[in-house]
């Protein structure tokens, strides 16, 4: 019984930490006047309004030594490792905190993404086998698409950044009217995808290292099988589902169908971008005209993509409007 209660208490503390990682540090009585030992100022609250020293600063303890060592190695509250730790265990809540202005809880997201992308580049170049890839002459859209995907798969950091940028507009259209992050803007959507890109890059780093290690221990071709890629696709989808559920606060089914539409719209935008790039490439290289992927086809694809995103926006707004009417 005691063990069960202990597990329950640990789970409750973990859930409380997920929603607010500073919940254990807010136990200072704001009705009491404190005297700052650093500058001598009398103040009310958790920090001195003149010098910024904490109100509970007292004698040096073992905990003071622990905090000092952590700060020495850059493991403080706003450090890079601590932000990555939060991004693993409370990704949606961390992003929501950042959007609501609690910037001191996280490392600067763009700087974090650059560091993670650089580390991803090093890992993938280290674990990549040196087998030469066959270069196919680009004569049509299919060969252009295959060559582009081959390059992206060898530079996963660039692929992730590109794909996440395509999710900004669909996420804005489908999750704008959410309980936990209502009416988020497109610049906020940019930072949402920056955080998600860092999380997914970390996942692929760990995933690649595991596959590389197992493939070196087990002499077989299982690492190149379709099952390995299928597992990665499922894992990425579950990660995105967890992030969107925590960030926007919808129920599971409401998050699932919206996320599926985001992925579908992202795939459509990816195909449209590939078509436009092929048009510029074929014009620059003076390739023969492709009867299937013409300029008129690209314009038609653009209109379809815009109508699809507009339809998603209208559908999401209509669903929330009907739910509010039923609740009344």
Read off the tokens for 172. 């804005």
Residues 48 and 153 placed together within one structural domain of the fold: no
pLDDT at 241: 95
pLDDT at 131: 45
Q: What is the pLDDT of residues 249-289, one digit of tens each?
A: 999 998 999 999 899 888 888 888 877 777 777 767 666 66
Q: How confident is the model at residue 222 (pLDDT cuts 50, 70, 90)?
A: low
Crossing angle of helices 252-285 and 226-248, rounded to 10°? 120
Does residue 10 fall inside a structural domain? no
Q: How confident is the model at residue 230 (pLDDT cuts 50, 70, 90)?
A: confident
Q: What is the pLDDT of residues 17-66, one digit of tens each?
A: 788 777 655 555 667 788 888 888 888 877 787 787 777 777 777 777 76
Lowest mean pLDDT among 79-93, 102-116, 149-163, 218-232: 218-232
Q: Can you give the C-alpha Rg of the chain in angstroms?
A: 25
In whole angstroms, give the CA distance from residue 41 to residue 52. 11
| DSSP state letter for 287 | P
pLDDT at 29: 60
CB 316 within 8 A of CB 173: yes
In whole angstroms, give the CA distance from residue 89 to residue 86. 5
Q: Which helix (H) or strand (E) holds 136?
A: none
Read off the tokens for 276. 């436009």
Q: What is the pLDDT of residues 91-139, one digit of tens each?
A: 999 999 999 988 877 888 988 888 888 888 887 776 555 444 555 566 6
pLDDT at 130: 44
User: How many beta carbons lie within 10 A of that of residue 127, not counting itself?
Assistant: 15
Check whether 301 has a pLDDT greater than 90.
no
Does residue 28 fall inside a structural domain? no
What residue numbers bound the domain in which 275 lies? 80-327
Q: How confident is the model at residue 88 (pLDDT cuts 50, 70, 90)?
A: very high
Residues 38 and 175 placed together within one structural domain of the fold: no
Residues paired with residue 42 on neighbouring β-strands, in sequence order: 35
In whole angstroms, give the CA distance from residue 52 to residue 246. 32
What is the dihedral angle through the alpha carbons of 123, 127, 132, 133, rounded to the nearest 10 degrees? -70
Does residue 262 fall inside a structural domain? yes
pLDDT at 310: 82
Residues 57 and 178 placed together within one structural domain of the fold: no
Does residue 122 fall inside a structural domain? yes
The DSSP line for 145-198 is HHHHHHHHHH-HHHHHHHHHHHTHHHHHHHHSS-SSSTT--HHHHHHHHHHHHH
Q: How many domains does the chain have?
A: 2
Residues 214 and 133 placed together within one structural domain of the fold: yes
Percent of the chain with pLDDT over 90: 16
User: How many beta carbons lie within 10 A of that of residue 106, not counting itself?
Assistant: 23
Instruction: List Cβ neighbours of 105 (8 Å cut-off, separation of 6 or more).
Output: 21, 22, 77, 78, 86, 94, 97, 98
Residues 102 and 63 placed together within one structural domain of the fold: no
């Amino acid at each position: 019984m005691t063990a069960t209660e202990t597990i329950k208490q640990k789970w409750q503390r973990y859930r409380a930490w997920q929603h607010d990682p500073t919940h254990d540090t807010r136990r200072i009585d704001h009705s009491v006047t404190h005297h700052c030992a650093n500058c001598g100022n009398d103040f009310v609250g958790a920090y001195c309004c003149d010098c910024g020293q904490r109100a509970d600063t007292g004698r040096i303890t073992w905990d003071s030594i622990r905090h000092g060592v952590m700060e020495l190695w850059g493991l403080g509250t706003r450090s890079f490792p601590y932000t990555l730790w939060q991004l693993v265990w409370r990704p949606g809540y961390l992003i929501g905190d950042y959007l609501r202005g609690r910037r001191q809880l996280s490392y600067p997201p763009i700087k974090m993404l650059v560091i993670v992308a650089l580390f991803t580049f090093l890992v993938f170049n280290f674990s990549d086998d040196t087998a030469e890839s066959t270069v196919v002459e680009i004569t049509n859209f299919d060969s252009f698409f295959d060559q582009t995907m081959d390059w992206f798969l060898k530079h996963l950091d660039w692929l992730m950044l590109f794909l996440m940028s395509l999710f900004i507009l669909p996420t804005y259209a489908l999750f704008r009217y959410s309980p936990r992050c209502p009416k988020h803007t497109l610049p906020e959507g940019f930072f949402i995808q920056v955080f998600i890109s860092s999380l997914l890059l970390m996942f692929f780093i760990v995933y690649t290292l595991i596959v590389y290690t197992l493939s070196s221990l087990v002499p077989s071709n299982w690492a190149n099988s379709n099952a390995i890629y299928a597992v990665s696709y499922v894992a990425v989808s579950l990660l995105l589902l967890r992030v969107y559920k925590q960030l926007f606060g919808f129920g599971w089914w409401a998050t699932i169908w919206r996320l599926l539409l985001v992925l579908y719209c992202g795939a459509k935008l990816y195909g449209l971008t590939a078509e436009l790039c092929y048009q510029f490439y074929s014009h620059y290289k003076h390739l023969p005209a492709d009867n299937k992927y013409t300029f008129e086809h690209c314009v038609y694809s653009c209109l379809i993509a815009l109508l699809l995103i507009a339809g998603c926006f209208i559908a999401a707004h209509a669903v929330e409007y009907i739910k509010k009417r039923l609740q009344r």
